Structure 1
């Protein structure tokens, strides 16, 4: 069974947009039931400014936000993880480190808003779309009756969230 609060790591390659937004959203939606973190396999070194602006407009405190390596969560001092969620296809295909706690893994692919091109409005829309998709998935996770499910059912339900329609 998963611990309470549920310790979640959101992964992306650059840890500058989707994973940082996912961390903020899960911590809000979980209302104390989730303890979310984010990291990247090849962190950019700083959060994307459009991600930070969007989070601030949505009422999130962005003081937590920093781009960091997934190595911080693979060492002996790392928190035991219950769930590791990849949000980009490249991170999902990479060989991940050993995660303390033998967490459930799931892929919730979201198009990368940091790669969006076009006008400022078009780029902002890409971030808003990713934020909305992450919010829907976080709400679906929060609605799962995880305490009543065995590990196989938890895994199937959490992975199914990644296949929700956009």
Structure 2
């Protein structure tokens, strides 16, 4: 099963979704990319994922152009920007989904508030992607 998760910068939400999806089943081939890849992973995303037991510190921010010629079972966008400008894939895409989340890196306020936004979005991503994982497993069986 090949899964590509897209976002605008590939530094936060898509990386968290990638980490969770891979943690649910090591046999899944999960990748993430950005329409305008930032080239780095948000350190706060790495920290909150670590606290959830998932290590994404080794992930890299990649541009979606690296994956345009591949075949995908699922291509999932996780933010409005990627959903609106999702590229045309030349490979076979069996299922396109959009599961949108707020961008915690755009939160404004105290350090505590910003951290709480990362935790909130992380937990939403975990829940939504676990439900998707269960759905995918039920379709396979």
Q: TM-score, with normalisation over the residues of structure 2?
A: 0.91
Any unmatched runs of 5+ in structure 2?
A: none
Q: Contact 2:49–2:55 (CA<8 Å) still a contact in 1?
A: yes
CA spacing shift, 1:127–1:44, aligned 2, 3 Å: same
Aligned position for 1:23 = 18
* Pairing 1:1-166 to 2, within 5 Å after superposition: 6-29=1-24, 31-75=25-69, 78=70, 80-144=71-135, 145-147=138-140
Runs of 4+ in 1 over 3 A off after TM superposition: none
Aligned-partner SS, 2:4:
strand
Q: TM-score, with normalisation over the residues of structure 1?
A: 0.78
Any unmatched runs of 5+ in structure 1?
A: 1-5, 149-166
Query: Would you say how many aligned residue pairs link Structure 1 and Structure 2?
Result: 139
CA spacing shift, 1:26–1:99, aligned 2, 3 Å: farther
Q: Contact 1:73–1:99 (CA<8 Å) still a contact in 2?
A: no
Aligned position for 1:157 = none
Name which one, 1 or 2, has greater alpha-carbon Rg: 1
User: Residues of 2 paired with 1:49 and 1:97: CA distance?
Assistant: 30
Aligned-partner SS, 2:93:
coil
